[in-house]
Structure 1
């Protein structure tokens, strides 16, 4: 199964606004593999899948892919949402323990607050496989499989700068402060944008990954900064809120907007000419890999992989959006 995950990862290509280049998925070996039990078990039993709210298409895609892969490998699976509430996350992990889960696949509710919850599952003999978001501890989760947010945000930043021709004022929308991905993406944006002295950030606001909040804030910011040339957002949900605010202000085609995640709505907005680009996180692949590694671990006592694994993102823009499928790119 691990080999299958590696082969499927090779189908993804790293793209830029100047064309596309085939790049393999990468796995970081920064952390040694977690110590393993004796192994020798059999496939079967409950895999608990816990993610943020399924009202967000990204997290729903994660959950659906994990459940489908678990069932294909002979397990039962149950998907629940912690809604980014650490207390609810703790309750769901308690429920997984009580229900005799053989593994937990988790997109967590916070890098620090989740450490105790994962430790609790480990102490109960249930291996945890983290997806999308890391925690600030190693050696307690078996796997931490995440998109290479810095690499992907770098691609978006390059596309954004090129579209703005290296000059002009812009707004940045930040994600939830407790989510490590918010800071990683922002830092990667600025590693690119700050190299251009004629680009000026006139506002930086947190919109907490939320579309309505982004819409409201961008409306206000556009009124205060009528000459803004671009908006770069930490995820597609906020980017789409910005797109709606730009449209409501009659500025579509004048204000450049870029996002991150690779959501279906973002892909459609690119096709409609309202969004410049998005960084595609291979959510489906990452979820499938987590379940495959859980299966391998249950059966053999080892995943055969390092704990921390980083999967490259892909730039989606007008040049390749027609090849887009749900959180994946064909060909």
Structure 2
């Protein structure tokens, strides 16, 4: 059976440490106390990746396994992320979960992991399948949310917010990064023929750049009534630029991720809404997936984590449940674990 609801587990504020878990809950039945999981993501400055880390740490504690979560220094720090993978590849980890900066940056350091036949989970952002195959790297599963659907949801909500017409701008993420591309595509396809997208501009998933780019957009297109930002940090920057211009409420901002600061902004009315993707759940899924592999189970090729649109109607509920989902979710991974 698939578990439908996530358990309550308070996030532990530990960064990049090896957690020796105590085997509470079901963990004592797994006999996996020496099983070591390595997870590498982009950075911990972005609360989204910090939440993924916290979910992994909490789930490892619950299941009685060890996990170390490491990261680069920024969203675009491919070299730093690769150095973490290379270091951990030599440290005897039994399973890897990796969020790439882009489609190819992690492939070279992962060749060492693949040669040892250590299972690898591709987390959150798709790694290029053809380039991986050529390098001899394969993945036991992809675990992440549906970014096309997130963009589609944002587009539907923007249409509703603007009454089906208007001029909008799009804040893109990192050039060439697939999640942002998919979110943009989902949004654009949904609003095509109804909303006029007057400008697209990258802001590298950073709040300061989101503010600066939005300031420029407001000068070039003062008649826009909506902004779609491919992540919350850029959306918060856009909301600040709109507030600085004295136009809060006149321009609707919808972003993606569901970080705590975005929820607070929705409650305050500076952000119209966020499509939350529950990275905490992704971290839990990564640990569950690694343990299922350790127990000899085969994972689905793709595990889709939940998303939900949060606005003033349900933001209090989501803040109360944060960082866990307020939507039910058929989890195909947890059901594989030995009880």
TM bracket, shorter-chain basis = 0.7 to 0.9
Q: Kindly indicate whether residue 159 of structure 2 is the aligned counterpart of residue 161 of structure 1.
A: yes
Q: Please, which of 115, 122, 136 is the counterpart of residue 114 of structure 2?
A: 122
Structure 1 partner of 2:38? 48
Structure 1 residues 154-193: aligned runs within 5 Å: 154-193=152-191
Q: Kindly indicate whether residue 312 of structure 2 is the aligned counterpart of residue 314 of structure 1.
A: no
Contact 1:149 1:313 in 2 (8 A): no
Q: Please, which of 222, 227, 236 is the counterpart of residue 226 of structure 1?
A: 222
Q: Please, which of 255, 274, 280 is the counterpart of residue 278 of structure 1?
A: 274
Q: 1:10 to 1:202 in 2, by over 3 A?
A: farther
DSSP 3-state at the match of 1:204: strand
Q: Aligned partners of 2:166 and 2:7: how far apart in 1?
A: 38
TM-score by length of 2: 0.82
Contact 1:173 1:231 in 2 (8 A): yes
Structure 1 residues 146-295: aligned runs within 5 Å: 146-196=144-194, 199-295=195-291
Q: Please, which of 5, 8, 11 is the counterpart of residue 8 of structure 1?
A: 5
Q: Aligned partners of 1:326 and 1:59: how far apart in 2?
A: 15
Once the 2 structures are TM-superposed, how far is the Cα of residue 124 of structure 1 from its aligned partner? 2.1
Structure 1 partner of 2:63? 73
Contact 1:49 1:67 in 2 (8 A): no
RMSD: 2.2
Q: Which runs of 5+ in 1 are unaligned?
A: 12-39
DSSP 3-state at the match of 1:328: coil
Q: Which runs of 5+ in 2 are unaligned?
A: 9-29, 328-339
Structure 2 partner of 1:136? 128
Higher relative contact order (CA 8 A, sep 6+): 1
TM-score by length of 1: 0.83
Q: Kindly indicate whether residue 322 of structure 2 is the aligned counterpart of residue 326 of structure 1.
A: yes
Contact 2:292 2:299 in 1 (8 A): no
Q: Aligned partners of 1:323 and 1:229: how far apart in 2?
A: 28
Q: Aligned partners of 1:88 and 1:255: how far apart in 2?
A: 37
Once the 2 structures are TM-superposed, how far is the Cα of residue 96 of structure 1 from its aligned partner? 1.2
DSSP 3-state at the match of 1:195: coil
Q: 1:226 to 1:42 in 2, by over 3 A?
A: closer
Once the 2 structures are TM-superposed, how far is the Cα of residue 169 of structure 1 from its aligned partner? 1.3
Contact 2:170 2:227 in 1 (8 A): yes
Once the 2 structures are TM-superposed, how far is the Cα of residue 206 of structure 1 from its aligned partner? 0.5
Superimposed CA distance per residue, residues 18-74 of structure 1 (whole angstroms, 9 cap, x where no aligned partner): xxxxxxxxxxxxxxxxxxxxxx99452322221111111110000111122123222
Structure 1 partner of 2:50? 60
Moved more, 85-94 or 58-67: 85-94
Superimposed CA distance per residue, residues 220-270 of structure 1 (whole angstroms, 9 cap, x where no aligned partner): 211222211111111111000000000000000111111011111111111
Q: Aligned partners of 2:78 and 2:215: how far apart in 1?
A: 31
